[in-house]
């Protein structure tokens, strides 16, 4: 009886171990599938500059909060990005994540100063060059949106021109985020840095 009872327990333990292993393998396979889907979406549609963003104002605020952005000063920025990008047909997720990179999540730890209202680093080419200044944050964000549109398409602007460097861009040369490297910035990893923030934003929002 003892031997039979021991065998029964052993068989049960093996079965539980096997079931647990199958479950782990299934979870890993599901994660790999999700990563592949995420990669396909990120490199196929989500990285297209002209288009609709998928995140809400609350989700944009969340990634700012998690990166210690001074929301007491810039709590209205996510709403402005959604509004201004929608007018010109720009993906607000990309524009917003570009701002996060350029400003260090609104901490302005680079050459551009907060009072410039320059959220896209327009004209800031390094070596202490501070770039352009704008009258207020909405106009500064609008200039960034227009600058993105200049690269992404040959379509005309909807709103009056405020980007002082719009005419310097060869229109439609960078419809994808990956094509901004070497154009918007000399950094060969510029697009990858924005994409890393974009991917984190989507992970936090549960989009992937």
The pLDDT of residue 32 is 45
In-domain check, residue 28: no
Residue 6 has pLDDT above 50, yes or no: no
Q: How confident is the model at residue 96 (pLDDT cuts 50, 70, 90)?
A: very high
Asked whether residue 34 is domain-assigned, the answer is no
Is 40 a member of any domain?
A: no
Residue 179 belongs to some domain of the structure: yes
33 assigned to some structural domain: no
Structure-block tokens of residue 201: 């934003």
- Which pLDDT does position 125 carry in this prediction? 74
Q: Alpha carbon 32 to chain centroid distance?
A: 22
Q: How many CB atoms lie within 10 A of CB 197?
A: 20
Give me the number of domains the chain comprises. 1
Report how far Cα 21 is from the mean position of its chain's Cα atoms.
36
**Confidence check: pLDDT of 192 > 50:** yes
Closest CA to 54 of 62, 64, 46: 46
Residue corresponding to tokens 């068989």: 11
Could you read off the pLDDT of 7-56 as tens digits, one per residue? 455 555 454 455 555 566 555 545 544 544 454 455 556 899 999 999 99
The Cα–Cα gap between 78 and 59 comes to 9
Q: Identify the CATH number of the domain in which residue 173 sits.
A: 1.10.530.10
In a domain, residue 195? The reply is yes
Q: 98 lies in which domain range?
A: 57-205
Tell me whether residue 45 is in a domain: no
What gap in Å lies between CA 71 and CA 74, rounded to an integer? 5
* Residue 109, CB-side half-sphere exposure with 13 Å CA sphere: 8
Identify whether 176 is part of a domain: yes
The pTM of the full predicted model, rounded to 2 decimals, is 0.79
């Amino acid at each position: 009886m003892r031997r039979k009872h021991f065998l029964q327990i052993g068989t049960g333990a093996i079965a539980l171990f096997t079931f647990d292993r199958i479950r782990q393998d299934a979870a890993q396979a599901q994660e790999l599938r999700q990563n592949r889907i995420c990669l396909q979406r990120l490199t196929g549609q989500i990285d297209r500059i002209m288009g609709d963003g998928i995140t809400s104002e609350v989700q944009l605020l969340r990634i700012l909060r998690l990166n210690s952005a001074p929301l007491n000063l810039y709590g209205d920025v996510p709403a402005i990005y959604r509004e201004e990008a929608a007018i010109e047909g720009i993906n607000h997720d990309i524009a917003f994540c570009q701002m996060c990179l350029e400003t260090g999540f609104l901490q302005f730890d680079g050459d551009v100063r907060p009072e410039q209202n320059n959220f896209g680093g327009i004209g800031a080419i390094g070596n202490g060059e501070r770039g352009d200044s704008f009258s207020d944050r909405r106009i500064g964000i609008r200039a960034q949106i227009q600058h993105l549109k200049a690269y992404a398409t040959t379509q005309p602007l909807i709103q009056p021109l405020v980007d002082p460097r719009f005419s310097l861009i060869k229109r439609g040369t960078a419809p994808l985020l990956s094509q901004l490297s070497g154009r918007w910035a000399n950094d060969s990893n510029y697009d990858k840095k924005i994409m890393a923030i974009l991917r984190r934003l989507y992970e936090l929002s549960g989009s992937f």
